[in-house]
Amino acid sequence: MSLLAQLDRRIRYYGGLIVSCQPVPGSPLDNP
């Protein structure tokens, strides 16, 4: 796996944690 791919996975993982822990009202990520 390339370094960029690892960084992307890490960013997506932590981004998902942040979104799930601190939902932002009205954000496009809230819509299923």
Q: How do the pLDDT tens digits run along the chain, 32 residues long?
A: 688 888 888 877 776 666 555 555 655 655 55
CA dihedral defined by 20, 30, 25, 21, rounded to 10 degrees?
0
* Per-residue model confidence (pLDDT) at position 23: 57
The backbone region for 28, taken as left when phi is positive above 0, alpha when psi lies in -120 to 50, beta otherwise, is alpha
Angle, CA 6 vertex, CA 4 and CA 7 arms, to 5°? 65
